[in-house]
Structure 1
Amino acid sequence: MGVQDPIDSIARALSLTRAERVALSKIVRSPEESLRNSMKVVPPHIVKGSDLGVDGFNVIITVERALAGDPVYVCTDGIVRDLSLSYSSYKPSDLFDRAVETIADTVRSMSPGRVTIYLDSPISRSGLIAKRIREITSEEFEVKTSNRVDSEILSHEIVASSDSRIIEGAKAIVDLAHAAISRAGISPKRLFTDRGMLGGI
């Protein structure tokens, strides 16, 4: 018999809904993954002069959610994530332009040597979204649509993403979404301190 997923055990015990289970699985990583991921995170100033690859939808959606007032969380690996169930049906909101402008300003403040923003081709209207990003940023950054974002982005020295699969293969991670929402004056929620859950639970 295989080892039962602890998240699944908690979800069953508490009769969590699918949305609640997804939230729990995003916020709480295993101790091993939390440590492994956190060791790859570099502070923004380290990005200076580096080749930066940005997981476009991943970062944009998190910043959009934060700007809209939806909860975003500092997870147990120290990386900020929103609670979206899926990006496959993503459509830009009225806050899209502001989110991209905030991200672009944050990237500029890091002074990378080169920036490539990747958008997943299967997502509807990804080509038009890429065009809009180029317009907002005055084509300052390279914006690419790809069917292989996960593999292409890993060719960069530093990667901006909260996706676990990308983090696993990356050499170094910068939490661009966290830096961007902080620049907008928004603080992500924290369920945990260095000593455990808030409230002593």
Structure 2
Amino acid sequence: MQPVALRTARLVLDLPVEGDVARVAEYCTDPLFEEYLTTPWPYTEAHARGFLTEYVPSAWSSGGELTWALRAEQGGPLLGVISLRTDAREVGYWLGSEHRGSAYMTEALLAVCEWAFAELPGTETVTWRANAGNVGSAMVARAAGFRSTTTPETTVPGRDGADLVGWSGERGATPDADAYESWAPLLGGAA
């Protein structure tokens, strides 16, 4: 599959490239990444280079995982990354700390979901999972119309391969009317 660029009102979602190595390496040293993501820890420039020059192009080529860079303008600096694992129609994402609270990731997630429903045959739902306690990621999923599907059995893979307690959600092409309320047990009244 060839990389596809997406545009939103404020963002360009395009292919993350080798020129993004320094930003990826910087962002992925955030202590939240150690707690909530499966990226290598400690994270180095070598990890970022391998991700950008080997993993991302190979995954696009095979169609197995489609990864976009978030940018405020064409050719602009990397703000974050969003991926869609096509076999499970599962999204994953992260945003550089100085860009959190901007609603950029919700905007990007909506664009990726819209693209998946329109362009990936057989897409009926898009799923999301995160480590339990990742409130920021859950708030993005909630804002993008995902319904919480979390049960006591929900898990996510950990960095070492062991399953961890997780949270999950899903959405169809049109969010369920009560999707927002489904998050109350996890997020309470979090804005």
Global fold match (TM > 0.5): no
Name whichever structure is richer in helix by fraction.
Answer: 1
| TM score, norm. by length of structure 1 | 0.32
| TM score, norm. by length of structure 2 | 0.34
Between the two structures, name the one with larger relative contact order (CA 8 Å, sep ≥ 6). 1
